[in-house]
């Protein structure tokens, strides 16, 4: 009898523990299992040349914009920095303005009826009348000036680091910063900029690559490799790095060139 009681007691204990364990499992089942977020890898693009245009081989290109059938180009170097309006088919200069020799011209963008131009290390920008190129005003910023574009609301400026600065286009006050990363790696040396279909395109100095950036997060969504774009034949005279991106929104055309390059290219991207 004592043995039977002991056995029954042990069985009851086992049943009690089993119920308790089942209750714990059921309670814990409401906690979601840990997950690991996987970021999509940036798309890698090549290119196909659609058209080739003449480009001034003396132009140290720092900014390039397309509007209404013309290129607006800003060039650099002390004593040689210019702002000009150019006919694509011939390279003829329609309007030209030379910056004072102490300024090293940098990126440009168009905003309403104005052209806005940065300078390299002077920490001063210029606002010109788009039709006459007459200087309207200047503005100050606290970093180096490299590339410039806009997203329809803010000016977007690069300074050679991985940081993009968003400025109010009327007051030129900084409203936010964005760090550009390829997954967890900062992408530095961001240079000339262009805003295309909701994405920021940036030359990466001193490479033959353009990085495509999501403006909401700063994450890299694509890379464009332009190796071999300028042929050996066109490198007989000294040339510098790839720099200059322009976009014709009306016809969905993409243009690129470089500093001291004798050619300017319309290209089409090819995904890989």
Model confidence over 169-214: pLDDT tens digits?
999 999 999 999 999 999 999 999 999 999 999 999 999 999 999 9
Which stretch of DSSP H or E encloses residue 22?
Answer: helix 2-28
Which pLDDT value is given to residue 20?
42
The b-or-e profile of 169-202 (16+ CB within 10 A means b, else e) is beebebeeebebebeeeebebbbbbbbeeeebbb
Confidence band, pLDDT 50/70/90 cuts, at residue 271 = confident
- CA max distance for the chain: 114
In CATH, what number does 43-271 get?
2.130.10.10
Which pLDDT value is given to residue 189?
99
Q: Which of 248, 204, 249 is nearest to 51 (CA)?
A: 248
Which residue did the predictor score with more confidence, 11 or 105?
105
Confidence band, pLDDT 50/70/90 cuts, at residue 100 = very high
- Is the pLDDT reported for residue 167 higher than 70? yes
Which pLDDT value is given to residue 7?
42
Which pLDDT value is given to residue 40?
81
Which pLDDT value is given to residue 15?
39
Domain boundaries, the chain: 43-271
- Is the pLDDT reported for residue 21 higher than 50? no
Residues 6+ apart with CB under 8 A from 164: 156, 157, 158, 177, 178, 179, 180, 190, 193, 200, 213, 218
Confidence band, pLDDT 50/70/90 cuts, at residue 272 = low
- Is the pLDDT reported for residue 215 higher than 90? yes
Cα separation, 244 vs 146, in Å, equals 11
- Is the pLDDT reported for residue 27 higher than 60? no
Q: Which of 268, 259, 168, 180 is nearest to 219 (CA)?
A: 180
| CB neighbour class for 258 (10 Å; exposed up to 12, middle 13-18, buried from 19) | buried
Sign of CA dihedral 149, 154, 158, 163: negative
């Amino acid at each position: 009898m004592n043995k039977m009681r002991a056995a029954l007691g042990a069985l009851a204990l086992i049943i009690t523990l089993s119920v308790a364990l089942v209750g714990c499992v059921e309670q814990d089942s409401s906690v979601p299992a840990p997950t690991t977020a996987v970021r999509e890898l940036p798309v890698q693009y090549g290119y196909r040349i659609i058209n080739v245009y003449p480009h001034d081989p003396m132009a140290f290109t720092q900014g390039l914009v397309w509007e209404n059938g013309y290129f607006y180009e800003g060039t650099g170097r002390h004593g040689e920095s210019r702002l000009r309006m150019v006919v694509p088919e011939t390279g003829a200069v329609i309007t030209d303005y030379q910056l004072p020799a102490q300024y090293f011209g940098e990126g440009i963008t168009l905003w309403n009826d104005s052209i806005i131009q940065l300078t390299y290390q002077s920490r001063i920008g210029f606002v010109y009348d788009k039709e006459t190129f007459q200087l309207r005003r200047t503005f100050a910023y606290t970093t180096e000036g490299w590339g410039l574009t806009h997203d329809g609301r803010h000016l977007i400026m690069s300074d050679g680091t991985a940081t993009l600065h968003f400025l109010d286009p009327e007051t030129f006050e900084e409203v936010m910063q964005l760090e550009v990363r390829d997954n967890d790696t900062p992408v530095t040396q961001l240079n000339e900029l262009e805003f295309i279909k909701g994405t920021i395109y940036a030359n990466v100095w001193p490479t033959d690559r353009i990085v495509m950036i999501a403006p909401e997060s700063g994450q890299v969504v694509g890379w464009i490799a332009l190796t071999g774009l300028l042929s050996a034949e066109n490198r007989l005279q000294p040339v510098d790095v790839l720099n200059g991106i322009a976009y014709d929104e009306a016809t969905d055309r993409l243009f690129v060139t470089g500093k001291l390059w004798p050619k300017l290219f319309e290209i089409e991207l090819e995904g890989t």
